Amino acid sequence: MAAAPGDSAPLAPPADADGVRPAPDTEGAAPAPAGEGLVRSLTHRQTTMIGLGSALGTGLFLGSSTAISMAGPAVIISYAIGAVLVAVIAVLLGEMSAAHPVQGSFGTIAHRYLGPWAGFLSRWLYWFSAVVVIGTEVVASALYIRWWWPEVPMSVAILAIAAIVLAVNIISVKSFGTTEFWLSTVKVVALCAFILCAALLVFFGLPDTEATGFANLADDGGFVPHGASSIWLAMSVVMFAYAGFEVVAIASAEAVDPQRTIRTAMRQLAWRLSFFYLLAITLVLALIPWRKLADGDGSVETSPFVRVFSEVGVPAAATLTNAVVLIAAMSAANAHLYGASRLLHSLGGDKLAPAPMAKLSKRGVPAVALAASTVGIAAAALLAFYDVSGLFGIMMSIALFAVLLVWLLILASYIAFRRHRTAHPEEFTGFSVPAGGKLAIVALVGVLAVAATAVEVPDMRQAAGIGLAFTAVLGVCYALTTLRKTQQK
């Protein structure tokens, strides 16, 4: 593929000239020497479930009280708009990733089509965001364990979960894919069971309980109790519930059949996330008055799951829910650690991170980048241990802002990619999203509209302020890195 003007960075064509080697055909074959490239061993089903694993987290299972308190039942519209916006970003990213299933995914593609600065910024922003999520999910997992055994020290529980997640990732990409597939499957099965039980209570009721119907959606102030603007304001919370689907694109560099896998996985991921979130939120709001959900503290006992399973006679509903949210948290930590390590590995390969980050183990795992990406676990553990809630909030603010900025860079990369594809159709094979360029512009406006909630929402205002400052720091780091590379030539 011809280089874009002003950019000499290599980007692999759809063939396996991208530094990724296929998985051995024979079981037990000797592994290739370290450094030969990532291994293509993730199947289509595993890749799809990896995306679900990173996006379906504890926020859904324990409820979305903050968003509900902002918009009431109208939060359903917020989730619907968010689903459409994420679906557009996902399919556009899928088109780019299928055309370029390379190490570094959207970061390497941004490097190619927007310039080295965009590749540097998007990968480091996503890495930091993922690292923060890893830390929070591991700490959450430790809290869920202590719900059963409160005598277990917090530090011990954190170390146990961290050891499991790290071991799954460091053995091989195949072990990661298999583990994440089953963890995500448990989450999906539990969510389907919840939806069926909730639908039973809404539409049919039980012998001693009348069907609730949808009256709760209009009671207590109506469907839009806080006005139409609340739908927009709730987007500041809702959109981050969908974050994590980008891991599917990152996994394209290790997928057995990247063109087919990414094309179908992104589409399936988009509609499955939409289906799960919209149906679950709608049924919960139909079952439980929205003010009760808004007052929830996010604990296991107040989870809508507990109430629904208790109503249909499931014994030990709280214990079941705790098991599900524990699996959900571990799955999310597992998937984000995978994504963070791969982007850090690609940064090392492009000499935009310390050189050891580019090294691979004999099994094709970026072990050094993997270890470095666990820094979030250590940071979150220290913050939790010393109860430094202020610093923890700052880290989350940067992470939230980083997700929006990464999405903007993905969409900007797509617009440039699409223009190049239109001008040079002979260089590309595979699917193309109809009217993709126009959809990207619409999605750009949507993401900017979400960012604009910072005008009214204090948490988003903090996220924007700290996030912009953090991005400026990354800009200085990029300038220094570029200067050092120039002096070495």
348 close to 355: Cβ distance less than 8 angstroms: yes
Residues whose CB is less than 8 angstroms from the CB of residue 184 and which lie 6 or more positions away in sequence, other chains included: 49, 50, 52, 53, 56, 331
Element (H, E) at 472: helix 458-488
Q: Which two tokens stand for residue 275?
A: 């289906």
User: Each residue's pLDDT tens digit in the chain (489 positions)?
Assistant: 333 433 434 454 433 434 444 443 323 333 333 334 677 777 777 887 877 777 776 666 665 778 888 999 999 999 999 999 998 999 999 899 888 888 888 999 999 999 999 999 999 999 988 888 888 888 888 888 888 998 988 888 888 999 999 999 888 888 888 888 898 888 888 888 888 988 988 998 888 778 889 998 998 889 999 999 999 999 988 887 788 888 888 887 787 777 777 777 787 777 888 888 889 899 989 988 888 888 766 666 667 777 777 777 777 888 888 888 888 888 888 888 999 999 999 999 888 888 899 998 888 888 999 999 988 888 877 777 776 666 666 777 778 888 999 999 999 999 999 999 999 988 887 778 899 999 999 999 999 999 999 888 888 888 888 888 889 999 999 999 888 878 776
CA dist., res. 374 & res. 127, Å (int): 11
DSSP string over 195-260: HHHHHHHHHT-BTTB---TTGGGTTTT-SSTT-THHHHHHHHHHGGGSTTTHHHHHGGGGBSSHHH
Name the amino acid, one letter, at 386: Y
Q: Which two tokens stand for residue 213?
A: 């119907």
- Pick the closest to residue 98 from 442, 443, 428, 444 (CA basis): 428
**Within 13 A of 454's CA, how many CA atoms are on the CB side?**
17
pTM given for the model: 0.85
CA-nearest of 284, 360, 282 to 36 is: 360
Tell me which residue of 326, 325, 331, 371 sits closest to 348, measured CA to CA.
Answer: 371
Q: Does domain 36-488 have CATH number 2.60.40.1170?
A: no
Distance in Å from the first CA to the final CA of the chain: 26
How many angstroms from the chain centroid is the CA of residue 365? Answer: 21
Residues forming a β-bridge with 206: 209
In this structure, the number of other CB atoms found within 10 A of the CB of residue 278 comes to 16
Q: Tell me, what's the pLDDT at 388?
A: 65
